[in-house]
Amino acid sequence: KAGVTQTPRYLIKTRGQQVTLSCSPISGHRSVSWYQQTPGQGLQFLFEYFSETQRNKGNFPGRFSGRQFSNSRSEMNVSTLELGDSALYLCASSLWGSGTGDAKNIQYFGAGTRLSVL
Amino acid sequence: GENVEQHPSTLSVQEGDSAVIKCTYSDSASNYFPWYKQELGKRPQLIIDIRSNVGEKKDQRIAVTLNKTAKHFSLHITETQPEDSAVYFCAASNYGQNFVFGPGTRLSVLP
């Protein structure tokens, strides 16, 4: 079974631009969460999508948005990029709602998209 | 909202010794606590997890303990090996949603 796939792996943008990141979850997983990882802040939760609906949201400005498609693939968009948005963006998928027992809680991470804002 | 603290931020041990990383959480509704290992340049990988109805769980050299009353849980690694060197993250979640991660512990196992 293929793992969580994120594209692209690397991105270089300039301030003020916008960017879209993509995440394909493990087949059968309906929950997709997005995280921002920086050296000083660890893993910060952005938002979670389940069945095409944003179910939970972290404390990030409205410039950060996302969506989920009917095939559970998810995209994250950041508009008006700032230097501080430079980070590794990770997505994670889980069986939530589809599995049984403890297995449905487990989050599997993608390799991430490293975004550099110049 | 939930807040997860993790200590220590860095930990160095001699190969063969044990390592212990501790986390505390604030929300008593949290009931699922995973631990992730992230090697340099790689994705976080689940190494062990525990639910709130269990006090301890063990998998070979790795164990996790949970004290619901005190709202803290710990990762124990015995007989450490160089390949255990990585950053370890604890997390707290409510039924597999709203994961809040600790800031991470960088473990170095010295030969």
Average pLDDT over residues A25-45: 91
Interface contact B101, partner A, CB < 8 A: yes
Q: Where are the beta strands (DSSP E) in chain A?
A: 5-7, 10-13, 19-24, 31-38, 42-50, 53-57, 64-68, 74-78, 87-94, 108-109, 113-117
Average pLDDT over residues A72-78: 97
Q: At A53, list the tokens.
A: 């609906």
The single-letter code of the amino acid at A104 is K
Distance in Å, alpha carbon of B7 to nearest chain A alpha carbon: 13
Residue A70 confidence (pLDDT): 95
- Measured between beta carbons, the chain A residues lying within 8 angstroms of B46 are 106-108
B86-94/A53-57 β-pairing: unpaired
Say yes or no to pLDDT of A115 above 90.
yes
Q: At A97, is the pLDDT very low, low, confident or very high (cuts 50, 70, 90)?
A: low
Q: How high does pLDDT run on average in chain A?
A: 92
Q: Do the beta carbons of residue B54 and residue B66 sit within 8 Å?
A: yes
Q: At A71, is the pLDDT very low, low, confident or very high (cuts 50, 70, 90)?
A: very high
Distance CA A16, CA B65 (A): 46
CB contact under 8 A, A105 and B34: yes
Interface contact B103, partner A, CB < 8 A: yes
CB contact under 8 A, A104 and B96: yes
